[in-house]
């Protein structure tokens, strides 16, 4: 995300002007667009009509002082220089995941000098293409790190009882440290019963109530198998030097696999945490209080600039595929690389945060290449941890 620059025309009031992503501060001013000054909505239609790359405008409204307008958001004008000089830091999930995997490879190598390699069993029921891709990449990563893995592929017709038998046999095998059941399961299978049948010490997804309870009770991180996505978010923050202690964190989304466990982890790390969800009143106002804002809801571009406090850290968990040119224009109007990849593939990914909102932040995780990159690395970390905790 590039720096935003402010434009002031001679005839405008000193505080008035345009913000743009594509011209340096000292370049010739952008020509006057009188209608653009009057209303931000008019300005927005002007922007679309002219294909302008202006991202925001500063304007003076009757009866109130000048404001910085970014999307639908209004900020006090004294924040303009903060925002215009802002170059948000990209929290590179791919690089952090690579670092974690390289550390794990060393730990696995030392473990193998003393005994058997840590072992992961993956259960993939049926033939869901997306699940097959995820599972393949989990098994491949095990191979890269020296972790033993085996893949079980019962048919889509397998009954709950048959799958319970498989889990029981894996529970009893000493060389298996972790058991992962790839979700979603076919509708006729009792998912909860199956997940609860995994021995808690082999529950590398961290979904078992025993592990959820341990997390809630504040067990030390190194002793609990925590869900991979929230654990990955905590690693991104820690390894990026973003302190959590005493910070105001807002988590949007309360799912059992992301929102809730992440809220617990943030509390355990001494943040002050608010969890928002579909029934939250005035969610934008709550979100604006966040030093650390997490979006995990599965709604493309849900978080817009006015929901972000300038200088906040944004963690975008959402992975949403968009496949229409309207959506492409809505989220990535000036992003040539996205347009090229969209033209090639017919779709692209966007998170739960509108890309324009990143411009206000101090740091953010991109989609793709942010939180998603950490999930498999944390699964590997849990497998190595499970082996260490169980075998001593």
Judged by the rule CB under 6 A, the positions of this chain that interact with ligand NAD are: 229, 252-255, 257-259, 276-278, 283, 296-299, 317-320, 371-372, 375
CA distance 291 to 277: 18
Element housing 66 (H / E): strand 66-70
SS3 state at 193: helix
Residue nearest to ligand NAD (CB): 255
Contact in structure between 207 and 186 (CB atoms under 8 Å): no
Give the shortest CB-14-to-ligand NAD separation in angstroms.
39
CA distance 100 to 113: 20
Residues whose CB is less than 8 angstroms from the CB of residue 235 and which lie 6 or more positions away in sequence, other chains included: 96, 100, 374, 378
Using CA atoms, how far residue 132 sits from 42, 184, 367, in Å, is: 48, 11, 22
* Cβ closest to ligand NAD, residue 20 vs residue 375: 375
Give the shortest CB-198-to-ligand NAD separation in angstroms.
19
* Cβ closest to ligand NAD, residue 40 vs residue 375: 375
* Cβ closest to ligand NAD, residue 134 vs residue 171: 134
Count of alpha carbons within 13 angstroms of residue 192, beta-carbon side? 2
Q: Mark residue 121 as left, alpha or beta (left: phi above 0; alpha: psi -120 to 50; beta: remaining).
A: beta
* Cβ closest to ligand NAD, residue 176 vs residue 377: 377
Phi and psi, residue 101, nearest 5°: -65, -35
* Active-site choice (37, 107, 182, 202): 182
Does the active-site annotation cover 48?
no
Does the active-site annotation cover 327?
no
Contact in structure between 4 and 21 (CB atoms under 8 Å): yes
* Active-site choice (37, 138, 260, 385): 138
Considering Cα of 264, then 266, then 267, then 268, what sign does the dihedral take?
positive
* Cβ closest to ligand NAD, residue 154 vs residue 298: 298
Does the active-site annotation cover 182?
yes
* Active-site choice (177, 205, 327, 352): 205
The dihedral formed by the CA atoms of 57, 59, 61 and 62, expressed in degrees to the nearest 10: -150
The secondary structure of the chain in percent helix, strand, coil, rounded to multiples of 5, reads: 45, 15, 40
* Cβ closest to ligand NAD, residue 281 vs residue 336: 281
**Enzyme catalytic residues:** 138, 182, 205
């Amino acid at each position: 995300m590039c720096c935003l620059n402010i434009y002031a025309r001679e005839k405008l009031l000193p505080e008035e002007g345009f913000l743009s992503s594509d011209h340096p501060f000292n370049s010739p001013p952008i020509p006057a667009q009188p209608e653009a000054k009057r209303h931000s909505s008019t300005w927005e239609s002007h922007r679309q009509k002219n294909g302008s790359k202006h991202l925001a405008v500063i304007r003076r409204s009757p009866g109130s002082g000048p404001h910085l307008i970014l999307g639908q958001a209004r900020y006090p004008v004294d924040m303009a220089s903060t925002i215009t000089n802002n170059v948000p830091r990209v929290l590179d999930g791919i690089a952090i995941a690579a670092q974690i995997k390289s550390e794990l490879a060393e730990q696995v190598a030392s473990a193998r000098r003393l005994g058997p390699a840590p072992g992961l069993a993956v259960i993939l029921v049926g033939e869901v293409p997306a699940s097959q891709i995820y599972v393949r990449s989990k098994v491949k990563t095990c191979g890269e790190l020296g972790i033993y893995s085996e893949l079980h592929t019962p048919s889509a017709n397998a009954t709950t009882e048959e799958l319970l038998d498989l889990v029981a046999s894996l529970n009893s095998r000493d060389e298996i440290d972790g058991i992962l059941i790839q979700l979603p399961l076919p509708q006729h299978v009792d998912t909860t019963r199956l997940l609860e049948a995994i021995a808690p010490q082999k529950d590398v997804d961290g979904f078992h109530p025993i592990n959820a309870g341990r997390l809630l009770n504040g067990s030390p991180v190194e002793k609990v198998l925590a869900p991979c996505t929230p654990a990955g978010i905590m690693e991104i923050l820690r390894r990026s030097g973003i302190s959590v202690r005493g910070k105001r964190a807002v988590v949007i989304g309360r799912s059992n696999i992301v929102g809730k466990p992440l809220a617990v982890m943030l509390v355990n790390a001494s943040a002050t945490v608010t969890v928002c969800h579909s029934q939250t009143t005035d969610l934008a106002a709550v979100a604006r209080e966040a030093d650390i804002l997490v979006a995990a809801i599965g709604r493309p571009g849900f978080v817009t600039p006015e929901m972000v406090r300038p200088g906040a850290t944004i963690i975008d968990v959402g992975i949403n595929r968009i496949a229409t040119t309207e959506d492409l224009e809505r989220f990535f109007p000036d992003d040539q690389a996205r347009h090229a990849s969209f033209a090639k593939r017919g779709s692209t990914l966007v998170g739960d945060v509108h890309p324009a909102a990143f411009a206000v932040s101090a740091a953010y995780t991109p989609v793709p290449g942010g939180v998603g990159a950490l999930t498999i690395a944390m699964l590997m970390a849990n497998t190595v941890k499970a082996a260490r905790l169980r075998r001593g």
